[in-house]
Amino acid sequence: MRATPPALSSALTLLLAAMLTAGLSACGRKGEADAAAPGAAAPAGAASAAAQSVGVDKMVQADVPITVEASGTVTALQSVDLRAQTTSTVAQVLVKDGQNVRKGELLFRFDDRADRAALEKARAQLARDRASAADLERQLKRARELVAQNFIAQSAVDTAQANLDAGVGLVKSDEAAVQAAQVTLGYNELRAPISGRAGIVSVFPGSLVQASATAAPLVNIAQLDPISIAFNLPETQLGTLLEATRAGPLEVEALPPPGSAHGATSVKGRVTVVDNLVDTTTGTIKVKAEFDNKAQALWPGQYLRVRVTLRTLKGATVVPQVAVILRGNERFVYVVAADNTAQLVPVQVRSGMGEQAVVEGLKPGQQVVVDGKQNLRPGTPVKLQAPVVKPAGVAASATGDAASGAAP
């Protein structure tokens, strides 16, 4: 074997040393770069230990009214269509469109000349027959005196008595005829049978009116104060509704209709009657409520929503609806434990109230997760976000929000 020259061996040694040094430097720089990279992967298990940012809300306890809403129609307690009871012409119209009238107030006067003449004729007939009856009474008296003196037979007295009885009966008939004529004459004045507001008057002086039940009414009068609202509730609420009515007056609230002026308030009333049967075609029960309507905020035929307070839950636990997690038939919420970990707690929802819910299963003072719960698992560490500033009145609106909910 031929030996390598010393000069060549030294050169090879220096070249290998330089290559080794460069490789080690490159590895060192790559490790530092990987360690400094912002996207560097964390060690295994580090992700599970990272705290999740969540938004929480503190549960509150309040007296919560359980309510149910329904659509109702405003109806007048009394509404009368006025029609003529005689065939005549209109002499005077004493009522104006939309006028408030009192019971017994004169509204229309008809041409009564024919009926007044008929009354005078009946009175004259009565006077004539009364005179005849008086004469028959004198004849009977003379006949009794003569029969006492044996100048005439007893049969003559009997005949005189019969004539007098017939005359008395005729007088009574004439008296009834006079009363009938007075009634007929009274039909020529049409008075308000109830107090209320008149509608649109459909006749004018000189118009012909007829006594017909199918004729167009001269005017309608509707009672506006008090007034009622009729609405239907599901038959599932019947038991609760009847129990509430037995406990005392049941409050009803008529909500302002859509498009009402800003600041319009609801009108409060009370349930007056629950129908005696359930409508089998719709599965609902009809209810009527009565309202004071001095301001005439409610109008007959108006369609609006009503809210009935069935009962009140005392000291109920109220949480935001968004905190409730649905899993089949079960309901859960995440609460923040003392060690700042998320714990899944089962709850029972008693009632939904718009953005709030009444639940059971929580302890006083617990904080429930409302934002970020989709990233949580039981035992996950959590970091609380800064609380969201709510508008005035939201934090303590448990009872107010309940009014927009429905009973379970």
Give me the DSSP letters along 19-47: HHHHHHHHHHHHHHHHHH-TTPPPPTTHH
267-278 mean pLDDT: 93
Distance CA 372, CA 382 (A): 10
pLDDT score at 317? 84
The span from the CA of 63 to the CA of 61, in Å, is 7
Mean pLDDT of all residues in 216-237: 94
Q: Residue 385 is encoded by which pair of tokens?
A: 């976000």
Q: Report pTM.
A: 0.63
pLDDT computed for residue 402 by the predictor: 35
Report, in angstroms and rounded to the nearest whole number, the Rg of the chain calculated over CA atoms.
48
pLDDT at residue 290 in the model:
95
Q: How confident is the model at residue 21 (pLDDT cuts 50, 70, 90)?
A: low
327 vs 285 pLDDT, higher one: 285
Most confident of 12-26, 46-60, 303-317: 303-317
| Residue from 374, 317, 302 nearest 347 by CA | 317
pLDDT tens-place string over residues 73-111: 999 999 999 999 999 999 999 999 999 999 999 999 999
pLDDT for the residue numbered 105: 96
Q: What mean pLDDT is predicted for residues 366-374? A: 86
Instruction: State how far the alpha carbon of 98 is from the alpha carbons of 19, 199, 270, in Å.
Output: 111, 5, 28
Band (pLDDT 50/70/90 cuts) for residue 311 is confident
> Which domains, and CATH codes, for the chain?
60-75+224-402 (2.40.30.170), 83-108+192-222 (2.40.50.100), 112-187 (1.10.287)
CA dihedral angle for residue 99, residue 100, residue 104, residue 110, rounded to 10 degrees: 0
How confident is the model over 312-318, as a mean pLDDT?
83
